[in-house]
């Protein structure tokens, strides 16, 4: 069943916000800009609104939502307790792209928001329109990214409409989002900060803000972190553990192992979660950010990338596929393909982060069925960028030695 999806343009944010806030206050679901990506918001206390969010996205019900607040003071109404480390992180990064997982106060949000966990994920977005919308709606807003489940997150209002027109009450257009990738999700356990999902706040920033107070764990969340999950949640996690660790060769249709035997490159990274390691967050086990075409990520020393990338692109073209190359600015002139995207300089991964999701969507629009992408250095926002690129590639990665 299709409903009318209202569009509130950027030029008239005043009325748009009023109508959008009224829709949320009345139990509706509305997409809005944040500094990371567009979110699909509904009142966090309204089980009916949250049900509509899951339905509109086609999102599995065991993947919990982030609750968005207009101001830090409101967090006390959601969380049972706030530790010193969490407080320091709020001081340092709110408003901003950091989500904290905290023990939930019973009855504070609809149980659908937390998907049966005893924790709630919370953030205060650094986007005026988002905070004003929450303020006017008069309630915390539960909001996942405003894409159909499995699709790249929306960084423009147009992307929201591509996925959700006819399924939601409206979209508030605030132009392009800033960061382009989602917030960093963290949880503090026994005085150690665990990054559940890399994002807009970098590991380096977290380390600096928590200096003398807490360490940032190098590894994924320990298995005990699932203690607050439902039995179904834990069973799902084990199933995923067992199925992960697949090799790139097995996943790869396009490379057919040729580069691996040519002596120039080796395939060395499997998909998803290495075996024996617990998933870091319920959302981690689901396919994400995926373009419709197949994607291959090529990583390694910058000067070795172009030969391998072009070879892969040509092979795929010879096989009759429509091919796109995602290139750093430095290499863009070297490539021949149906489409070549300039993702920005190697030293500025924030540019590539801003454009990644829009580029993946454009590949879909142009009916690209094979994407070869250059990897970026993994410092700073590069860590989150490469996390999303690996997910988009579904684990298909060639590492050039
Ligand atoms: O930047 C963002 O975070 C965007 C904007 C709209 O705020 N939102 C977003 O939401 O990316 P979503 O639903 O696409 O991702 C939420 C992530 C998922 O990986 C989910 O599993 C995790 O947060 N999460 C939510 N609640 C959690 C909890 N209680 N414990 C652990 N992880 C949680
Ligand atoms: Mg999402």
Per domain, the residue ranges of the chain are 6-231, 294-400
Flag whether pLDDT at 234 surpasses 90. no
Q: Return the top range by mean pLDDT from 8-12, 147-151, 223-227.
A: 147-151
For residue 341, give the 3-state DSSP assignment: strand
CA distance 300 to 307: 12
Provide the β-strand partners of residue 300: 400
- Ligand 1 midpoint to CA 320 (Å): 39
Tokens 């999902």 belong to 197
Strand order of the sheet with strand 39-43?
A: 6-8, 170-172, 30-32, 39-43, 141-142, 66-68, 119-123, 98-103, 184-189, 192-197, 215-216
The answer to whether 27 and 46 are in contact (CB under 8 A) is yes
For residue 233, give the 3-state DSSP assignment: helix
Establish whether residue 282 lines the binding site of ligand 1, counting it when its CB lies within 6 angstroms of any ligand atom: yes
* Most ligand 1 atoms within 8 A of CB, residue of 95, 97, 130, 145 to mutate: 145
For residue 228, give the 3-state DSSP assignment: helix
* DSSP string of 74-99, one letter each residue: GGGGTBS---HHHHHHHHHHSSSSEE
CA distance 292 to 275: 27
Flag whether pLDDT at 277 surpasses 50. no
* Average pLDDT score over residue span 88-94: 98
Flag whether pLDDT at 162 surpasses 70. yes
Establish whether residue 185 lines the binding site of ligand 1, counting it when its CB lies within 6 angstroms of any ligand atom: yes
Q: How high is the pLDDT of residue 220?
A: 62
CA distance 374 to 297: 6
CA distance 52 to 29: 7
Ligand nearest to the backbone CA of 282 = 1
Strand order of the sheet with strand 323-327?
A: 265-266, 397-400, 294-300, 370-374, 323-327, 339-342
Q: How high is the pLDDT of residue 285?
A: 62
For residue 149, give the 3-state DSSP assignment: coil
- Ligand 2 midpoint to CA 257 (Å): 32
The answer to whether 335 and 327 are in contact (CB under 8 A) is yes
Q: How high is the pLDDT of residue 280?
A: 53
CATH topology of domain 6-231: DHBP synthase (3.90.870)
Closest C-alpha among 199, 217, 197 to residue 207 = 217
Q: What is the reported pTM?
A: 0.87
Establish whether residue 182 lines the binding site of ligand 1, counting it when its CB lies within 6 angstroms of any ligand atom: yes
Q: How high is the pLDDT of residue 246?
A: 27
> What would the pLDDT profile of 309-357 be if each residue is shown by its tens digit?
999 999 999 999 999 999 999 999 999 999 999 999 999 999 999 999 9
Q: How high is the pLDDT of residue 286?
A: 63
Residue 243's φ and ψ, nearest 5 degrees, are -90, -10
| Nearest atom in ligand 1 to 38's CA | 6
Both structure tokens of 126 = 């650094």
Query: How does residue 259 score in pLDDT terms, banded at 50, 70 and 90?
Result: very low
CA distance 262 to 55: 47
CA distance 42 to 50: 6
Query: How does residue 11 score in pLDDT terms, banded at 50, 70 and 90?
Result: confident
Query: How does residue 267 score in pLDDT terms, banded at 50, 70 and 90?
Result: very low
* Most ligand 1 atoms within 8 A of CB, residue of 29, 38, 65 to mutate: 65
Cβ contacts of residue 219 below 8 Å, gap of 6+? 277
Q: How high is the pLDDT of residue 209?
A: 98
The answer to whether 393 and 318 are in contact (CB under 8 A) is no
Residue 242's φ and ψ, nearest 5 degrees, are -65, -35
Q: How high is the pLDDT of residue 219?
A: 74
Q: How high is the pLDDT of residue 14?
A: 75
Q: How high is the pLDDT of residue 256?
A: 33
Flag whether pLDDT at 231 surpasses 90. no
* Most ligand 1 atoms within 8 A of CB, residue of 41, 193, 283, 353 to mutate: 283
Tokens 């008239």 belong to 12
Establish whether residue 39 lines the binding site of ligand 1, counting it when its CB lies within 6 angstroms of any ligand atom: yes
Tokens 């530790």 belong to 83
The answer to whether 85 and 188 are in contact (CB under 8 A) is yes
Mean pLDDT over all residues of the chain?
86
* Average pLDDT score over residue span 102-130: 97
For residue 146, give the 3-state DSSP assignment: coil
**pLDDT higher at 286 or 142:** 142
Establish whether residue 313 lines the binding site of ligand 1, counting it when its CB lies within 6 angstroms of any ligand atom: no
Flag whether pLDDT at 81 surpasses 50. yes
Q: How high is the pLDDT of residue 375?
A: 98
Question: How many other C-beta atoms can be found within 10 angstroms of the C-beta atom of residue 349?
Answer: 24
- What's the CATH class of domain 294-400? alpha beta
Question: How many other C-beta atoms can be found within 10 angstroms of the C-beta atom of residue 189?
Answer: 14
Closest C-alpha among 139, 150, 154 to residue 31 = 154
CA distance 325 to 308: 12
Q: How high is the pLDDT of residue 284?
A: 62
Q: How high is the pLDDT of residue 124?
A: 99
Q: How high is the pLDDT of residue 290?
A: 82
CA distance 180 to 74: 26
């Amino acid at each position: 069943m299709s409903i009318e999806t209202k569009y509130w343009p950027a030029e008239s944010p005043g009325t748009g916000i009023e109508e959008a806030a009224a829709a949320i206050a009345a139990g509706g679901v509305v997409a809005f800009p944040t500094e990371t990506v567009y979110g699909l918001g509904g009142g966090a206390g309204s089980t009916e609104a949250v049900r509509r969010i899951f339905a509109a996205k086609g999102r599995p019900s065991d993947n919990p939502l982030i609750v968005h607040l207009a101001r830090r003071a409101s967090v006390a109404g959601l969380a049972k307790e706030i530790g010193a480390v969490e407080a320091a992180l709020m001081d340092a990064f709110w408003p901003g792209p950091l989500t904290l997982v905290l023990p939930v106060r019973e009855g504070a949000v609809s149980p659908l928001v937390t998907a049966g966990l005893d924790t709630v994920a919370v953030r205060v977005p650094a986007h005026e329109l988002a905070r004003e919308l929450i303020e006017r709606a008069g309630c915390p807003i539960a909001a996942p990214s405003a894409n159909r489940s499995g699709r790249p997150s929306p960084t423009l209002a147009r992307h929201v409409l591509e996925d959700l027109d006819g399924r939601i009450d409206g979209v508030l257009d605030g132009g392009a989002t800033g960061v382009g990738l989602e917030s960093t999700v963290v949880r503090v356990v026994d005085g150690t900060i665990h990054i559940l999902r890399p994002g807009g706040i970098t590991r380096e920033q977290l380390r600096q803000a928590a200096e003398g107070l807490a360490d940032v764990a190098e590894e994924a969340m320990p298995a005990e972190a699932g203690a607050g999950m439902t039995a179904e949640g834990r069973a799902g996690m084990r199933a995923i553990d067992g199925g992960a660790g697949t090799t790139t060769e097995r996943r790869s249709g396009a490379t057919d192992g040729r580069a691996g035997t040519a002596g120039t490159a080796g395939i060395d990274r499997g998909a998803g979660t290495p075996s024996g390691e617990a998933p870091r967050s319920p959302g981690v086990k689901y396919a994400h950010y995926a373009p419709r075409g197949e994607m291959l990520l090529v990583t390694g020393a910058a000067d070795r990338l172009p030969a391998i990338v072009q070879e892969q692109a040509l092979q795929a073209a010879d096989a009759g596929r429509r091919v796109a190359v995602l290139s750093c600015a430095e290499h863009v002139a070297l490539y021949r393909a149906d489409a070549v995207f300039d993702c920005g300089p190697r030293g500025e991964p924030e540019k590539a982060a801003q454009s990644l999701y829009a580029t993946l969507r454009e590949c879909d629009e142009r009916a690209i069925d094979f994407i070869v992408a250059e990897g970026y250095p993994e410092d700073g926002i590069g860590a989150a960028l490469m996390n999303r690129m690996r997910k988009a590639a579904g684990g298909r990665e060639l590492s050039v030695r």
